[in-house]
Amino acid sequence: MSRLPVRPSLYPACVMALLIFLSLAIPLADAAPLLLDKPQPYSLAGHLESLVDPGGTLTLRDLLSGKTSARFVPLSGFVNYGFISSASWTRFTYQPSANDNSGDLFLRLTPAFLDEVTLYVQTGPDPALPASYREYNLGDHYPGDLRRIRHPDMVAPLPSTPGVPRQVYIRVKSTSTHTLQGWLYPRDDLINWSASSNLWMGGLLGIILFDLVISALLALMLRNVLFGYYSLFALTFFIRQLGIDGAMFVLWPSVAHLTNDYLVGGGISLGLCAYSLFVMRLFNTDKEWPMAHRLLRLSIVIGGANALGIPLGWYGRLAPVTTINYLLLACFIPVLAYRYLRRGAPAGGWIIAGFSVVLIPAVPRFIVVLGLMSPSWFTTYGYYYGMIIHMVMITLALVKRLELSRELLLSASRRTEAVAVELAEEMTGELREALKRQTRFVAMVCHEYRTPLAIIRANLDLLALLQDQDENISFAVVKMKRAVARLVEVLEVSLGRVRLSDGTLTLRPEPLELERLCSGLLEQATEYWPDRQVVVVPGDVAVVQGDPLLLQTALLNLVDNGLKYSPPDSPVTLSWTVADNEVVIRVEDHGSGVSPEEQERLFEKYFRGSAATGTVGAGLGLWLVARIVEEHGGSVLLKSSATGAVAVIRLPLKELSP
């Protein structure tokens, strides 16, 4: 940052020296009295004389003496000394026209945030006597409820005698910028101006409040830090304007004198902190613009120190530094916005427009605050209106930026989703191909094993002829037959599982007489479990449409399940009945039954009940039974019975042709 030509700490002394020099060098002349020849508002610009009081010891009596009175310097505009710790005196003379019968006259002084403003209005005939003056205590350090006229600005009545000149003295002392503006109003004009001004200012404050609420809601709903910082800045600007416009002297006059310094100074200081945080986040200065980032961090320190200086009495010394900092920010932030736009960032055009619209009124405004230029309507209200437009445009820019970011995110999400779908389809195809290869492999293994197993069984039958000659051979043959039968069962069941797991399962249905199916099952059961008793109880004649291999696998699994969970000397009974166009097959054992809590889950894949502890199995047998029965359009249920457990299969009967 370049070195300033005048150090801020020496600024008040330089201003006072310049004023004293001017007061000695410029020929003294009385300002022309303000002639009120029409019933209309009059500006005091060009009719004021001013005197700086460095020690703050001058009184009205001193000013009325000829020696001190000659030190007043006429001003071409309004009073503006910037940040000085000295008091100042201002005077003017007004004279209603001899034909003026407009009635009451009022003086309106601004800005409302001046600390101490004492008004002396001539009411007596001799302007050289202190007793001819009436005193009014104004300024934001005096209680608002003691003011004669409740108004956001400092307003006092003036005597209005046609053709009689009156003199007014104004003493000002303030820790904020030392400026004074004034106007004279007839009663009706003051009322009309106050009504329109309050309506206009209320509308502008309403816009700020609306912008604040919108930013705060977006920050909370979206958890967006950028909107959060901007809502904090809008809050500080709203609080600051309440103090600058003097609104508290109308809303809460009894405490306004205690809070106005904190509203104005705190709003300006903390607003600098919030605005710096917002700019840092918006432009990502910590990574993109390190120099700007350091300056913004310094701004936060300055703003925080200035806020602490309000209760500690440092505000008057730190305020010039804060003002210069605001001026620097107003100049270089549009540069950041331009670079932001050049990089093609979202809503870059809105953002540079929002920062540029406040630059034009901001520079002269801060020059006026520093006391280097006389205030005017543009410097007083132009910055205010520019900030309103700036806040609205920046809020719209942030919303636009959020919308564009959302569109980019949705676009990226769609691209990611398309890639994921493509990848999933590719993986699904590979998985299907792998399942097909697995199915073909298992089918091949089962087919290839059938031939050697058939040879083994045939040779075992030949060996059975030798049973009577050798008991050892007989015992071995029986064991080998059981082992081969079990191996055949495992292969058949495995093939059935693979076929059911394959999404392209195709049944090979044919008409099946249930009695013949169960007779074949009984023969297999006798071979598989020669030392166990399986009983088939014939029922009604029934024909179903089904895959014989799969149905036989399902029934064998139920019989095997019953034999596992029942005593070795107890039978497993298979029976069936016909009712309501369906056949009901029952496989009943004499075991411990089924737990009601586990009954619904027994047909889930890989689920094994509490009774399965210590029993070989993988939790696939009953699941395979359920799949086979469902594929045939039936249902299966396993529950406790009077003797143990019973599995009930319901299959639709085949419709016989007439």
pLDDT in tens, 364-400: 887 888 778 778 778 777 888 888 888 888 888 888 8
Candidate ranges 4-13, 154-163, 548-557; pick with highest mean pLDDT: 154-163
Domain finish residue from 386, 414, 442? 414
pLDDT value at residue 353? 81
For range 517-544, the mean pLDDT? 80
Q: Is 281 a domain residue? A: yes
| Count of positions (residues) in the chain | 658
CATH number, position 105: 2.60.40.2380
Tell me the mean pLDDT in the region 273-296: 89
Residues 25, 624: Cα–Cα separation, whole Å: 114
Does 105 lie in the same domain as 74?
yes
pLDDT at 371: 76
State residue 182's pLDDT score: 93
For residue 32, the enclosing domain spans 8-193
Structurally, the chain folds into a number of domains equal to 3
pLDDT for residue 118: 95
Structure tokens belonging to residue 446:
């089962």
Q: Which of 201-205, 472-476, 608-612 has the highest mean pLDDT?
A: 201-205
Q: What is the average pLDDT across 50-75?
A: 89
pLDDT of 24 reads: 35
| 104 contacts 155 by C-beta, under 8 angstroms | no
What integer pLDDT is reported at residue 632 of this predicted model? 84
Check whether residue 339 and residue 408 sit in a common domain.
yes
Residue 19 has pLDDT above 50, yes or no: no
CA–CA separation, 605 and 310 (whole Å): 75
Residues 155 and 227 in one domain: no
End position of a domain, from candidates 414, 444, 472: 414
In-domain check, residue 500:
no
What torsion, rounded to 10 degrees, do the Cα atoms 69, 70, 76, 78 define?
-20
Same domain, 228 and 152: no
In a domain, 640, yes or no: yes
Residue 610, pLDDT score:
62
Fill in the amino acid letter for 542.
A
Q: Which of 155, 175, 193 is the last residue of a domain?
A: 193
Report if residue 494 sits inside a domain.
no
Residues 231 and 359 in one domain: yes
Are 580 and 621 in the same domain?
yes
- Report the percentage of the chain scoring pLDDT > 90: 18
Phi, psi of 43 (to 5 degrees): -90, 145
Worst-scoring range by mean pLDDT, 199-208, 330-339, 540-549, 605-614?
605-614
CA–CA distances in Å: residue 105 to residues 36, 102, 184, 186, 629: 10, 8, 7, 5, 105
For residues 140 and 205, state if they share a domain: no
Query: Of 452, 337, 436, 352, nearest to 393 (Cα)?
Result: 352
Q: Nearest to residue 647, comparing CAs of 579, 569, 591?
A: 591
* Mean pLDDT of the 63-73 span: 87
- Identify whether residues 618 and 523 lie together within a single domain: yes
606 versus 43: which is more confidently predicted?
A: 43
**Average pLDDT of the chain, as a whole number:** 80
In a domain, residue 72? The reply is yes
Question: What b/e string do you get for 461-490 counting C-beta neighbours within 10 Å, with b at 16 or more?
Answer: eebeeeeeeeeeeeeebeeebeebbeebbe
> 28 — phi, psi (to 5°)?
-80, 140
Name the band, by pLDDT with cuts 50, 70 and 90, for residue 439.
Answer: low
pLDDT at 134 over 90: yes
Statement to judge: residues 91 and 189 lie in one domain: yes
Task: Check residue 47 and give its pLDDT.
Answer: 92
Q: Does 451 have pLDDT greater than 70?
A: no
Least trusted range by pLDDT, from 271-285, 478-492, 507-521: 478-492
pLDDT of residue 300: 93
Q: Is there a domain that residue 228 lies in?
A: yes
Same domain, 164 and 295: no
Category of 194 on φ-ψ map: left (φ > 0), alpha (ψ -120 to 50) or beta = alpha
Residue 433 has pLDDT above 80, yes or no: no
- Does the residue 436 lie in any domain? no
Question: Does residue 28 carry a pLDDT above 50?
Answer: no
- 74-78, 81-85, 340-344: least confident range: 340-344
Q: What is the pTM of this model?
A: 0.60
CATH code of residue 531: 3.30.565.10
Same domain, 139 and 158: yes
Position 2 in a domain: no
The pLDDT assigned to 17 comes to 43
Q: How far apart are CA 231 and CA 398, in angstroms?
A: 12
pLDDT at res. 29: 41
443: its two tokens: 């089918």
In the predicted model, what is the mean pLDDT of residues 190-196? Answer: 90
- Average pLDDT, integer, range 18-40: 57
| Cis status, amide bond into 186, omega within 30 of 0 | no
Same domain (yes/no): 175, 203: no
